[in-house]
Chains A and B, each alone.
Chain A
Amino acid sequence: AQSVTQPDARVTVSEGASLQLRCKYSYSGTPYLFWYVQYPRQGLQLLLKYYSGDPVVQGVNGFEAEFIKSNSSFHLRKASVHWSDSAVYFCAVSGSFSNTNKVVFGTGTRLQVLP
């Protein structure tokens, strides 16, 4: 079955520090990978997505992620975080799992950026 693992439920970093949020997926086919961010009382916003091609994808607000097939990973990175980056981040995978294109989510990582 398809699954996504985000091993860190909470991450705390200081403003200006670099960030990596970990994500590993399990899917035998061609994965379509996403990172979403959820701010309080708001919906999910797409940060970036990977379908094919260059394994390093750039997203909004300076975020990027790298698809490493051999490791089944899709970690999210940012060189220098801002306090406004505090939110919950979800990694997700989609694909032709069945006859519909449902999205399978990880449990999320809550990021707190200290001023």
Chain B
Amino acid sequence: GPKVLQIPSHQIIDMGQMVTLNCDPVSNHLYFYWYKQILGQQMEFLVNFYNGKVMEKSKLFKDQFSVERPDGSYFTLKIQPTALEDSAVYFCASSPDWSSYEQYFGPGTRLTVL
């Protein structure tokens, strides 16, 4: 079936540094999402993105977070600067249109902030 790819699979950085997580969504999908999963906890919605704009963001989407998809390339989540509490697995998802409640998820990027 359709696959969402995420690069890298694991990233280790020092607190205060910038990190960019990359997502390659399903090719004809229009809506993109990021979710955050802290170890042992449930996945929680961060943000969704459509037509170059953030549609909705949760309280977990701090001011240090930003998303973009320049020129149809990767859909990225940037954290600048990172904090210890940003350590988690970040999942990207995409869906084809507004009426689709099903989202296709990537394998996740495990971010470790030291």
Seen from chain A, the residues whose Cβ lies within 8 Å of a Cβ on chain B are 4, 32, 34, 36, 41-44, 46, 49, 51, 90, 94-95, 98-108
- A107-B41, A107-B42 known; A101+B95 contact, CB < 8 A: yes
Q: Name 17 interchain pairs, CB-CB below 8 A, sorted by A.
A: A36-B105, A43-B91, A43-B105, A46-B102, A90-B42, A95-B101, A99-B55, A100-B48, A100-B56, A101-B95, A101-B100, A101-B101, A102-B45, A103-B93, A105-B35, A105-B44, A108-B42
A-B contact count (CB 8 A): 60
Q: With the chains together, A100 CA to B41 CA distance in Å? A: 23
Question: Which 7 pairs show the lowest CB-CB distances between chains A and B?
Answer: A43-B107, A44-B105, A32-B101, A100-B56, A94-B101, A102-B45, A107-B42
Q: Is the CB of B107 within 8 A of A41?
A: yes
Residues of B with C-beta under 8 A to A102? 33, 45, 48, 56
Q: Is the CB of A43 within 8 A of B108?
A: yes
Closest to A90 in B: B43
- A43-B4, A43-B107 known; A105+B43 contact, CB < 8 A: yes
Q: With the chains together, A62 CA to B28 CA distance in Å? A: 30
Q: With the chains together, A108 CA to B44 CA distance in Å? A: 12
Residues of A with C-beta under 8 A to B41? 107
Q: Is the CB of B101 within 8 A of A100?
A: no
